[in-house]
Chain A
């Protein structure tokens, strides 16, 4: 059974650290945090051609994480695969012992490093959840039977600061209907926002993981210039706190803030777990865990 599921369902407040599949096949950087943090965190999130930039296959990376002793959370976007490829990769994940799946639409191709690639989106994230649920019950999206059903723990993304929020809630309801078992939020940077979010969801059987992010110096600078254009906000006080003299200092300050937020979120039960984006760097992850007392 999925360790992430056990931890989330058991109220153990799992910490998931996001690692970065390389652009190439040098695995050392990607796997370093898996080796150094194993036992301290529950799982490792593995982005799927993040930001529409071509990287090593997230499915292959998930297996490599498993072989290195870590629990993978496989991010799967609808951008690069049609339904045949999504389904066969899901079966592949099942066969490789990868149970945790996060279903995403995926950033559009023109925003990434292969802007002339054909965007696929044969399924959307709701339909991908349905597809995965179907495979779990023994049939593919064409209604054909499987020999051996995979078991998955299915997650999806939720944007607490969505504006307007109503269309987003429509999709959240559909994801619930499609059988999602946990949500990961978009990043937030103040306890107040996590508190508001917790109040807005009330009591639900579905689990919520709060996303914490260590922003890079360029993102902090964009925010300081009022040019931050993301689905989450970087409030001025946070920007002020994170501003530093060099990029490394910005990251260190971000890790300190993330550690503090992690600690508070866990203590105040503002989420069921956290998903941490720390630039895929083991040293920052380590700093976060130490700051959080984890």
Chain B
């Protein structure tokens, strides 16, 4: 899922300070799971803003609404009407949700409440770690289910750099060296032959932004010529 962190409160408050009617729009999917942008966190942010503005003698109208997913037009479309009563929106979605919301017709200025960080996993309650860079070329089948693009800070494709010490990464000694892990895993599984050939330069051309994927079954609908 997408992992995000909430922005410092002062930054959020400063962004919406010029407005009197502020809607906080939550997202009920990834950011709700990682405890930064769901219904509860929307409520918390609303209370914080009311308190902070209250201390300055201001009482802006602060509304709350949380939709299933802000990255899905079906769920955010109704917000086009909701925002009629507001003059600014704070989105607690990831960057994708914020942008999709901002694209809606009749939408008011949208401000992000989060910094989107990575695609990751839920290690334990409140503890998330990165696993995927969405690099358009998955190596996991070759590298024993450990991603060299993500788990190696240098994204090396052909073995460890010279900097690992006792199997720990030179960049952050708390982390295992991805290539030491890859090697050990494949050795255990008798699959070392898979990483013996030199992997070629990564096709970064596929990662030109903004990315677009059209499911093969829908190519005719979206008039994709191959």
Residues of A within 8 A of B (CB): 78-79, 83, 104-108, 110-111, 119, 121-127, 130, 141, 157-159, 162-164, 166-168, 170-171, 173-174, 177-178, 186, 229-231
Q: Is the CB of A170 within 8 A of B198?
A: no
C-alpha gap A264/B156 in the complex (Å): 37
Residues of B within 8 A of A (CB): 153-167, 170-171, 173, 177, 179-180, 182-184, 187, 192, 195-196, 198, 200-202, 204
A173 to chain B, nearest CB (A): 7
- Total inter-chain residue pairs, C-beta < 8 Å: 95
Known pairs A124-B154, A167-B160, A229-B165. 17 more at Cβ < 8 A?
Answer: A105-B154, A105-B161, A105-B163, A124-B156, A124-B158, A126-B158, A127-B157, A127-B158, A141-B201, A162-B164, A163-B167, A164-B166, A164-B180, A166-B183, A174-B158, A174-B159, A177-B198
Contact A126 to B198, CB < 8 A, known contacts A108-B154, A121-B155, A171-B159: yes
Q: Which residues of A contact B192 (CB under 8 A)?
A: 170
C-alpha gap A106/B156 in the complex (Å): 11
B121 to chain A, nearest CB (A): 23
A84 to chain B, nearest CB (A): 11
C-alpha gap A39/B67 in the complex (Å): 75
Of the candidates B159, B163, B165, B196, the one whose C-beta lies within 8 Å of that of A107 is B163
Q: Which residues of B contact A162 (CB under 8 A)?
A: 162, 164
6 sample A-B contacts, Cβ–Cβ < 8 Å, listed by A number: A106-B154, A121-B154, A121-B156, A124-B161, A164-B184, A168-B160
C-alpha gap A135/B176 in the complex (Å): 35
Q: Is the CB of B171 within 8 A of A230?
A: no
Query: Which of chain A's residues has its CB closest to B182's CB?
Result: A167
Q: Which residues of B contact A163 (CB under 8 A)?
A: 165-167
Q: Which residues of A contact B159 (CB under 8 A)?
A: 124, 126, 167-168, 170-171, 174
Q: Which residues of A contact B183 (CB under 8 A)?
A: 164, 166-167, 170
C-alpha gap A121/B161 in the complex (Å): 11
A128 to chain B, nearest CB (A): 10
C-alpha gap A83/B171 in the complex (Å): 23
B182 to chain A, nearest CB (A): 8
Q: Is the CB of A164 within 8 A of B167?
A: yes
C-alpha gap A141/B177 in the complex (Å): 28
Query: Which of chain B's residues has its CB closest to A159's CB?
Result: B162
Q: Which residues of B contact A108 (CB under 8 A)?
A: 153-154, 163, 170-171
Q: Is the CB of B201 within 8 A of A83?
A: yes
C-alpha gap A34/B179 in the complex (Å): 39
Q: Which residues of A contact B162 (CB under 8 A)?
A: 104-105, 157-159, 162, 168, 186, 231
